[in-house]
Amino acid sequence: MSRPRAVVVATGSELVRGERSDLNGPFLARETLSHGLEPARITIVGDAPAELEAVLREGLEADALLVSGGLGPTHDDRTVELVAQAAGVGLFVDAELEGRIEAVSRAAAERLNRPYADFAPGVTKQATRPEGSVVIGLAGTAPGLVLRAPSGCVVVVLPGPPSELQRLWPGALESDPMRELLARTHAPGRRALRLFGVSESAVARALDDAGGDGDGVEATICARDFEIHVDLVVEQGAEARADALEAELSSRLDRWIYGRDERPIEEHVLQLLRARGWTLATAESCTGGLVAARVTSVPGSSDAFLGGVVSYGNEVKTRELGVPEELLAAHGAVSAEVAEAMAKGARERLGTDVAVSVTGVAGPGGGTPEKPVGLVYVHAEGPEGGRGRELSFPGDRASIRARSVAMALHLVRRVLTRSLDEDV
């Protein structure tokens, strides 16, 4: 039996123009799947009324329509009125909601030393909601709403800022219309394999050799910064088929598997550090602190990560990391020799068990025939030895830096697992 379908609509002309990236669509798609709905599509649409209403009418043909953005007090925030228009229901001013929004707005007016009259029209606008809708909470002055449309579609309207949307999302799940819809679903099981050092095509061949997906198991293969993510979505009753497929894939790809869950590499690195009672430091040039940022994005990382040095200039490499000036003169900042000296210097100066360094030419300028844009050296050093890599990355500055970070973290993983003889 097919799962109920969900359509996600992310609104905002700034998204269509490419001024901002949509983070809400992927979040809502993942959430719907985890609760047993089938995410049919994600649509990004601007604030033009005709365009937005057309997309909403189409979305109302699904079992669930999840809309983000357009709940503010300004003239171009039209989501609520157009949802009502597309669904064929009226609008009314909710006096209780108006009082709640007014209290927030009066506090803001006082804080900003502005007259409340500046806020009053927006308060009434934001307190206007479709007949039959329920309020699931406020994010600032923007209310999250859930409506069961006359067509039967459950419409969820959430604010555009991702943090606000994610804060109100649990309220949408707890609303009666959504609970009734989810009662018809069965959340699929999920299996995850995370690999590094193998190509996407090789993983695809392994999947084919293992019998492929189907029979209640859907497999997806995604390449991300040298990592390959394999995800299995498992319908009820297909667990044995998923077990067999996962075992076959593991037997063919075990050398490259670093994780069997959805945790990112930085969490695996921290787990390995804690298991050995070791600490980590970073020394970064072209990545500008991105390796440290990835590690410290994990709550509680301070028990294993002590700090880092962003040694962008040669004088900082020498002064803070102890890289000899003659080494820089002989080999240049972008070299295996300097990468090794940076890692050893960080380990010594910061007093850690392990250190990793990155130095390279991220571009778009600065390259030479001998050292072109995309040339990167990474080195990880630990108590039991070290290992470096020379890399040549295609792409723009952002992708070169992102791939360098991934390589650095995986090189640390190799040091922590003593897999220094393996290619990465």
Q: Residue 385 maps to which CATH number?
A: 3.90.950.20
- Whether residues 159 and 210 fall in one domain: no
Residues paired with 163 in a beta bridge: none
Question: So what's the pLDDT on residue 420?
Answer: 46
- Whether residues 130 and 207 fall in one domain: no
Sequence-distant (≥ 6) Cβ neighbours of residue 368 within 8 angstroms? none
CA 205 vs CA 232, 252, 399: distances in Å: 16, 10, 26
- Is residue 422 assigned to a domain? no
**Closest by CA position to 139, among listed 71, 212, 46:** 71
Tokens of 91: 């609008």
Q: What's the CA gap between 308 and 110, in Å, rounded? A: 43
Q: Show which of 259, 278, 297 is a domain's final residue.
A: 259
Q: Show which of 182, 203, 238 is a domain's final residue.
A: 182
Specify the CATH number for the domain of residue 231: 3.30.70.2860
Q: Show which of 142, 165, 182 is a domain's final residue.
A: 182
Domain enclosing residue 202, as ranges:
189-259
- Is residue 80 assigned to a domain? yes
Average pLDDT per block of 10 residues along the chain, 424 residues long: 90 96 97 95 97 98 98 93 98 97 94 92 95 97 97 97 97 98 93 95 96 94 92 94 96 96 97 97 98 98 98 97 98 98 98 98 95 98 94 95 97 84 51
Report the Cα 252 to chain-centroid distance in Å. 29
- Whether residues 108 and 250 fall in one domain: no
Which is it for the CA torsion 326, 330, 334, 337, positive or negative?
negative
- Whether residues 16 and 161 fall in one domain: yes
- Whether residues 239 and 310 fall in one domain: no
- Whether residues 174 and 201 fall in one domain: no
- Whether residues 250 and 279 fall in one domain: no
Enumerate the H helices of 257-324 as residue ranges. Answer: 265-276, 290-296, 314-321
This prediction has a pTM of: 0.85
- Whether residues 9 and 122 fall in one domain: yes
Question: So what's the pLDDT on residue 1?
Answer: 54
- Whether residues 204 and 177 fall in one domain: no
By CB neighbour count within 10 A (0-12 exposed, 13-18 middle, 19+ buried), where does 254 fall?
A: exposed
The backbone torsions φ and ψ at residue 255, rounded to the nearest 5 degrees and listed phi first, read -60, -30
- Is residue 70 assigned to a domain? yes
Q: What's the CA gap between 86 and 80, in Å, rounded? A: 10
Q: What's the CA gap between 318 and 349, in Å, rounded? A: 12
Domains: count for the chain: 3
Q: What's the CA gap between 420 and 397, in Å, rounded? A: 29
- Whether residues 153 and 210 fall in one domain: no
Pairing mode of beta strands 189-196, 154-158: unpaired
- Whether residues 144 and 194 fall in one domain: no
Sequence-distant (≥ 6) Cβ neighbours of residue 172 within 8 angstroms? 136, 144, 146, 156, 158, 178
Specify the CATH number for the domain of residue 103: 3.40.980.10
- Whether residues 338 and 225 fall in one domain: no
Question: So what's the pLDDT on residue 423?
Answer: 54
- Is residue 421 assigned to a domain? no
